[in-house]
Structure 1
Amino acid sequence: MERTENTARGELLASLPAFAGFYPRESLLVLGAVPTHDGTFTLASLARLDIDEIANKPGQTTSDLVHLFRGATAPAVFVVVASHRNEETADLPLVSEVDVLVTALRSAGFATIEAIHVPEFAKGARWSTYGDSDLHGTLPDPATTDFALALTYLGHQIHSDRDALIAQFDPAPQSQRAPLEPLVRSVVQAVRDETATNNLAALRSRLDELESALTTPNSTSAPLSDQQIANLIGAFASIVIADAVVSFAENEEADLPNMLLKLLRLAPQPQAAAIAGVLAAVSYLRGEGVWAGLAASAVKPPTNLSLGISQAMGLGMPHDFVSTALLRGAGEALQILRPPAS
């Protein structure tokens, strides 16, 4: 017997590829979700590991995930095993490992925890719940969920796999980057001069230009001249500006990660590293753990921001604790450039 909440869970599961940016395969996903008044769920955070992590190192994987989600504000946690394991027997895979993880999460204070298996993220794929044979269903088309359609409207795509998503962090073709390099160098020198002379008015103007470009709806599809792109990239030569941009993560309507990725792919070093650090921080604040991890490791050498995100995720530091520290630093940088009226 299927229960009425099956539809909500099916929609939640089908939204995961859009939230992650790709179709996870042979993966363990742990997501924080917020129940809504109509019985559906809003995704708040997502962590993904290769399925072999929990299969081969269940104790360490459980400890890492519990640390990562401890202190999270999302009241519901879903553990999703996306795997074709045990397909020939129809038995749920990794039952004992999943039970250990669920027990540990419950001990950490999460009252609502569900573990779900789905062989793949595809229309009609059957999902089943660990420990409750009555709670099961089939996935709607992941490409037509509300979240996926919203991304499509903004001009984005859900990549076929993680490798395809990683490729999005590769530098743009040299033919696109070469014309920008002398323009960026000129802007970077101007920003350094403004910083050295404490020209806050000029730096504030650059932050305003960045905010307009990064937070305007459909900003990734808006045409920009080479000089406008160079102005945006060069502004990241200011550490204060880079830190202040992190505060824009609180603008939930802005397509901030994708616009930062666009600049990252076009930027020369060391501005590319600075933008990658901001992208990692913004993604982390928005609960997009996959993007945060990729951005933090996208460009070497790491910046303080990207190194901090990598360490926080690697050590499983509480998300709320790290987020508070990030937003405090961003707020302090913002006050330097936009001091409150006296």
Structure 2
Amino acid sequence: MEADDPERIASGKHYNFIVDGPAKLLMSVPALLGYVPLESLVVIGLKPAVESGRPEIDLIAHLDLTVIRGTHSTEVASTVAVQMQHSGVRTAVVVIVGGSGSRDRLPYEAEREDMSRALLDHGIETVDSLWAQAITVGAQWCSYEDDAIHGLLADWQNQPLSLHTAVLGDGVRSSREAFGDELRPIDRGNCERRSRKLAAADPIVTSKQIVKAVHRILDAVHDAESDRLPVTDEDFINLALALNCRQARDVALLLCLGTRQRTASRRLWRHLIRGLLKPDAAPAAAVLALAHCLDFNTNAAYAAVKHAQAGKPKSLLVGILKKTLDNPAALKVIGKVLRERADEVLKSAYCTPDYGLEVKLEHTPDGDLELRRHPI
């Protein structure tokens, strides 16, 4: 079984990891999800790899068993199966983590059967069902299908996919909630002071102010590439004001298209979010969510969307991103749509005739995309 690294979609590089056997598949789950699951049902969707024909991991679905257990199980299983079918998944492995059970009496049998039945109803065969007491060293695991297949887990952090994830700098969180914790304000006193100043500041309305806001966004992302992040109240307030301007915010969204600029954008907007109160940080959280979507980091994107919703629950952008995250297959087209709209967005965002400059979305020699400024 091949685990295909989603980073290749952003970078153009292709990494394959061979997962040979159920134990190694179980130990790969934290790296595939981005966090260590507890009391969870995980569906690993597979389809034949284009070159080798071997089963390749295509789509991962995670469900909290404490939430879906019982009455919601059938309904949720059907929703997951539809998404798997839409993505072209042919076969799947169902993984149960947690529950008080043993090899003789495995937990969550009804929920596992509901999922397998829903997958089969949508033309997807469950090739294996596995249970793990926990994803940790020494935890028991076994197959629901064959009680002769069992063992104890080794350290998941030493698996190739986990090591590769660490090298990329993504890391694996202790839980899904940890993604949201990373967006909490660092110093609430500073955030409240900036909120008062931001409320008293004049909005961006004139063409000259719009162009200045666009430059501020471009300069801030460029500085973030060298780890130069906002420090003063003025830095935070000016960036927050710029993101409240639709045209400047559009340019911030387009900056997420370039691999290098997207990495800097993530660093910048996360820093800005942690220096502002939720209502003030909502636009930055929405842009951060898009950057994570384009990296296929749905956990971090989900946390950013929730943060944005708490600030401005009626934001159109946040609503679109939430629907995208509810349908993982949509993540595959969101970057393409942005690229198709890039020229149109830039024309509406930048007043080139009046100020002698224009911004273009261009390919770099290594195939990346960047927003670049040019005199005219």
Matched with 1:277 is: 286
Matched with 2:271 is: 262
TM-score (norm: length of structure 2): 0.67
1:169 aligns to what SS in structure 2?
Answer: coil
Matched with 1:129 is: 143
Matched with 1:209 is: 219
Match of 1:91 among 78, 87, 105: 105
Q: Given that residues 29 and 79 in structure 1 are in contact (C-alpha distance below 8 angstroms), is that contact kept between their aligned partners in structure 2?
A: yes
1:223–1:237 distance in 2 versus 1, CA, 3 Å? same
Q: Given that residues 83 and 119 in structure 1 are in contact (C-alpha distance below 8 angstroms), is that contact kept between their aligned partners in structure 2?
A: yes
Mapped to 2, the partners of 1:15 and 1:232 lie a distance apart of 39
Mapped to 1, the partners of 2:324 and 2:196 lie a distance apart of 36
Matched with 1:26 is: 39
Q: How far is 1:122 from its partner?
A: 0.8
1:271–1:312 distance in 2 versus 1, CA, 3 Å? same
Matched with 1:64 is: 79
Matched with 2:229 is: 224
Mapped to 2, the partners of 1:240 and 1:92 lie a distance apart of 55
Q: Which has the larger radius of gyration?
A: 2
Match of 1:304 among 311, 316, 323: 316
Out of 20-29 and 34-43, give the one that drifted further.
Answer: 34-43
The amino acid that maps onto 1:60 is E
The amino acid that maps onto 2:185 is P
Mapped to 2, the partners of 1:252 and 1:136 lie a distance apart of 42
The amino acid that maps onto 1:171 is P
Mapped to 1, the partners of 2:148 and 2:311 lie a distance apart of 49
Mapped to 2, the partners of 1:129 and 1:251 lie a distance apart of 43
1:327–1:200 distance in 2 versus 1, CA, 3 Å? farther
2:207 is aligned with 1:197? yes
Mapped to 2, the partners of 1:72 and 1:134 lie a distance apart of 33
The amino acid that maps onto 1:295 is A
1:200–1:258 distance in 2 versus 1, CA, 3 Å? closer
1:181–1:339 distance in 2 versus 1, CA, 3 Å? same
Mapped to 2, the partners of 1:147 and 1:248 lie a distance apart of 29
Percent of paired sites with the same residue: 21
Match of 2:303 among 294, 302, 314: 294
1:278-301 alpha-carbon deviations (Å, 9 max, x no partner):
333343444433333322222322
Mapped to 2, the partners of 1:262 and 1:284 lie a distance apart of 18
The amino acid that maps onto 1:277 is A
Superposed structure 1 runs of 4+ greater than 6 Å apart? 34-42, 182-186
Matched with 2:242 is: 235
Q: Given that residues 83 and 329 in structure 2 are in contact (C-alpha distance below 8 angstroms), is that contact kept between their aligned partners in structure 1?
A: no
Out of 250-259 and 136-145, give the one that drifted further.
Answer: 250-259
2:77 aligns to what SS in structure 1?
Answer: helix
Mapped to 2, the partners of 1:236 and 1:41 lie a distance apart of 43
Mapped to 2, the partners of 1:325 and 1:335 lie a distance apart of 16
Out of 101-110 and 324-333, give the one that drifted further.
Answer: 324-333
Q: How far is 1:269 from its partner?
A: 5.3
1:93 aligns to what SS in structure 2?
Answer: coil
Matched with 2:351 is: none
1:234–1:8 distance in 2 versus 1, CA, 3 Å? farther
Gaps of 5+ in 2: 1-17, 347-358, 363-376
Out of 21-30 and 246-255, give the one that drifted further.
Answer: 246-255
Q: How far is 1:62 from its partner?
A: 1.0
1:4-62 alpha-carbon deviations (Å, 9 max, x no partner):
x8645544432333444432211122344677678998765443222134421221111
2:340 is aligned with 1:328? no
The amino acid that maps onto 2:39 is E
Q: Given that residues 244 and 334 in structure 1 are in contact (C-alpha distance below 8 angstroms), is that contact kept between their aligned partners in structure 2?
A: no
The size of the alignment, in residue pairs, is 325
CA RMSD of aligned residues (A): 4.2
1:252–1:224 distance in 2 versus 1, CA, 3 Å? closer
Q: How far is 1:118 from its partner?
A: 1.5
Mapped to 2, the partners of 1:240 and 1:163 lie a distance apart of 33
Q: Given that residues 236 and 272 in structure 2 are in contact (C-alpha distance below 8 angstroms), is that contact kept between their aligned partners in structure 1?
A: yes
Matched with 2:13 is: none
The amino acid that maps onto 1:262 is H
Mapped to 2, the partners of 1:140 and 1:206 lie a distance apart of 49
The amino acid that maps onto 1:208 is L
Mapped to 2, the partners of 1:232 and 1:81 lie a distance apart of 44
